[in-house]
Chain A
C-alpha cells in the first residue's frame, strides 16, 4: 500500500471509520443479545438487525467515501480505502450470522457486492477525475455519493428482506 502521505491518511481514515462502525454495531449487538439471554428470549432477531445495520452503514459510508477518494486519489487508493472500510467488520458479520437465522448465500453475496461496489465506486470516481476538472470531480463525486446514500436508505425496504 505505497501511497502519498495524504493518500495514506485517507486510507487510515477509511480503516478507522470501518473499525469504529464495526465496534459500535458489535457493542449494540452484544448488549441487546445479553438482555435477550437474561430474559430468556430469542437473540437471533438482534443478530439479524446487527447484520442489516452493518450492511447498511458500511454501504452508506462506502458510497460517499469510495467515490470521493476515487475522484481525489484515483481508483487504486479508492478501492483500497473501500477494502479498509469493509474488512474490519468481517469477524462481527461472521459471529452475528452464526447467531441469526439468515441463510448464508445472501450474506456472502452481500459482502461480495460491497467489495465489488468499493472497486466500482472508486473507478467511477477516478473516471470523473479524468473527465472533468478535479474540483468539479470532487463535487460531482460527493453529490453522486449522497444520492447513493439516499437510495440505500430509502430503498432498504427492497434489499433488506432479501438478507433476512
Chain B
C-alpha cells in the first residue's frame, strides 16, 4: 500500500517538475540579419539593418543594435509562427553588434561587419542586364530587397540606378523612402520607366528635378549620371550654418550665474550680521538645493527648421536642428516629433545616443542621452514636405518686380530677395499681385536673412517665408522655421 502511494507521489512529482521545466523553458529564437545595400556603406553615413525574428513560443524580446556610440533599441512581441521583421536605421560603423534578449532566455548576440567604401558608391538595382559602371565609383549590384525602408539609409549611396521591374517590386515603405531621397536631391536614374512610373515620379525630385533622371537604356543612364555628376547640386545646409540661425541660448548659464550671485550675496550678509552656524547652514542648504533647483529651471528644447524649394515644386527639402539644454548630470529621454523622426541623427557624430524604435511605425519614437550642466545635446533632422508656392515675377522699369501668386494657395507675408537686396513681400491670396521694391540689405540684417541671401545664387530671385510649425505634432514650444523658395528669373 505504502509502496503504491510512494510510486504515485513520485510519478506526480516527476510530472510536476516536467511541467515546470516546460513552463520555464526559454523561447527558441531564430535571428536573421541583413544589412541594406548588400552591406556596403560609406564612413560617417547612415545605413539600415533588416532583422527577422522567429520564436517558437510567445514572448517579449528587446532588440539592441549598437554601432560605435549610437544604438537603436526596440521592444517586440514575438508570436510563434509569425516572423517579426524590423528595419533599424543606424550610423555606419565597421562592426555592429546586435543583441536580442528575452525575459527568461539568454541574450542572443550577433556581430555584423559592414563594408565601408572610400570611393563613392553607385547602387545598381537592375533586374535585367549587367550592373551599371561609372568611373571612380564602386558599383554595388542590388535587388529590390536590398533597398532600405528608411530615407536616412540612402545616405550610404552617392548615386542609384534602378529599372522599372525593380521599382515595381519595391514595397510601400521602400517607395516612400526612395521618393523622400529623391525629394532631398539624391541622384537617382530610373531606366525604362513606364507611364505609371513616370506619373509617380513627376515632380518628386528635389533641386528642380535635376537629381531625378529617367533614361531609356543603361548606356543612357550612365551618360545622364555622368552629366549630373559634372554639375553640382545645391548642397544641404551644413549643421554649423543651421545652428547659427538660433539665437545663442545662455539661459542656463544666466540662471546658474544669478543663483551663485544670490548665494554669495546672502552668505556675505550672513557673515556680517549672523556669522557662525547660519552661514554654514546656508552653504550646506545651497549645495543641497542647487541640483533640484536646476531641474525646475530647465528651459524647453529649441527647434529650428530651414527648408528650400523651387517655385511650383510639390516638395521642399528641409533640415532641422533641435537642441536639448543640459542642466544636470542625468540620463534624459526625449520624445521625437513623428514628422521629423524618420531622419534623426546626432549633430555631433561622436555624441552617444540611444534611439527607441517604434516597431509599428518603423521609426524612432524617442531618444535617450546623457546630459550635464552647460552641455546641450543637439539632434539633426532632414527630409522633405509637400509645399505649394508658385511665384511669377515680372521686372518693372523702376527696378522693382511685380510678384504674382500663380498657385492655388494663399501666402503669408514674407521677404523678397533679389540678389543682395531685400524687400517686404505682403501676404497674397491666389492670383493676387504685389509690387516689391527691394532695397540693399543693411548690415543690421539678421542671421536668417544673411543665410537666405547666401543661399540665393548670384542675382537670383527668391522669397523667404516663416514656417508655421504649429502643425508639427510634438514640436517644442520654441520652434522656428523658414522656407526659401527660389523663383525663376524672367
Contact = CB atoms under 8 A, between A and B. Distances in A.
Interface string B224-254: 0000000000000000000100001010010
Contacts of B268: 19
A98 B373 contact: yes
A43 B327 CA distance: 12
Contact of B375 (A84, A88, A93, A99): A99
A19 B372 CA distance: 25
Contacts of A84: 279-280
B257 interface: yes
A23 B329 CA distance: 23
Contacts of B271: 12, 15-16, 19
Given A16-B271, A98-B291, A91 B286 contact: yes
Nearest to B281: A87
A81 B279 CA distance: 12
Interface of B is mostly: helix
A94 B290 contact: yes
B242 to A, nearest CB: 12
B375 A19 contact: no
B256 interface: yes
Contacts of B327: 98
A160 interface: no
Contacts of A162: none
Nearest to B248: A38
Interface stretch (A26-34, A54-62, A135-143, A146-154): A26-34
Interface residues of A, number: 37
B287 A91 contact: yes
Contacts, number: 89
Give the size category of B's interface with A: 20 to 34
A36, A43, A89, A95 — which one has the most chain B CB atoms within 10 A of its CB?
A95
Interface in A1-40: 1, 8, 11-12, 15-16, 19, 22-23, 26, 30, 33-34, 36-38, 40
A90 B374 contact: no
A100 B372 contact: yes
Contacts of B328: 98
Given A26-B264, A88-B267, A98-B294, A36 B287 contact: no
A161 B63 CA distance: 38
Nearest to A86: B283
B287 A90 contact: yes
A92 B276 CA distance: 20
B264 A19 contact: yes
B260 interface: yes
Contacts of A83: 280
B253 A34 contact: yes
Interface string A80-117: 00011001111111110111110000000000000000
A84 B286 CA distance: 15
B275 A15 contact: yes
A47 B372 CA distance: 11
A97 B280 CA distance: 20
Given A11-B276, A91-B283, A98-B372, A30 B267 contact: no
A43, A89, A98 — which one has the most chain B CB atoms within 10 A of its CB?
A98
Given A8-B275, A91-B260, A98-B329, A43 B284 contact: no
Interface in B24-68: none
B283 A44 contact: no
Contacts of A98: 290-291, 294, 327-329, 372-373
B259 to A, nearest CB: 8
Contacts of B276: 1, 11
Contacts of B256: 30, 95
A30 B258 CA distance: 11
B325 to A, nearest CB: 11
Nearest to B294: A98
A124 to B, nearest CB: 22
B333 to A, nearest CB: 19
A49 to B, nearest CB: 13
B263 interface: yes
Nearest to A19: B267
B279 A99 contact: no
B238 to A, nearest CB: 13
B264 A23 contact: yes
A43 B375 contact: yes
Given A15-B279, A90-B284, A90-B286, A30 B260 contact: yes
Contacts of B263: 91
A39 to B, nearest CB: 10
Given A19-B264, A92-B260, A87 B280 contact: yes
Given A88-B267, A90-B284, A37 B275 contact: no
A1 B277 contact: yes
A64 B463 CA distance: 70
Nearest to A8: B275
A12 B372 contact: no
Contacts of B243: 40
Contact of B275 (A12, A22, A92): A12
A34 B267 CA distance: 24
A33 B253 contact: yes
Contacts of B372: 44, 98-101
A36, A47, A99 — which one has the most chain B CB atoms within 10 A of its CB?
A99
Q: Which 7 A-B pairs have the closest CB atoms?
A: A90-B287, A99-B373, A1-B276, A87-B283, A98-B373, A91-B286, A43-B374
Given A16-B271, A99-B372, A100-B372, 13 more contacts: A8-B275, A12-B271, A19-B268, A23-B264, A34-B253, A36-B374, A47-B373, A87-B279, A87-B284, A89-B283, A91-B287, A95-B256, A97-B329
7 contacts: A30-B260, A34-B253, A37-B374, A90-B286, A95-B294, A99-B374, A100-B372
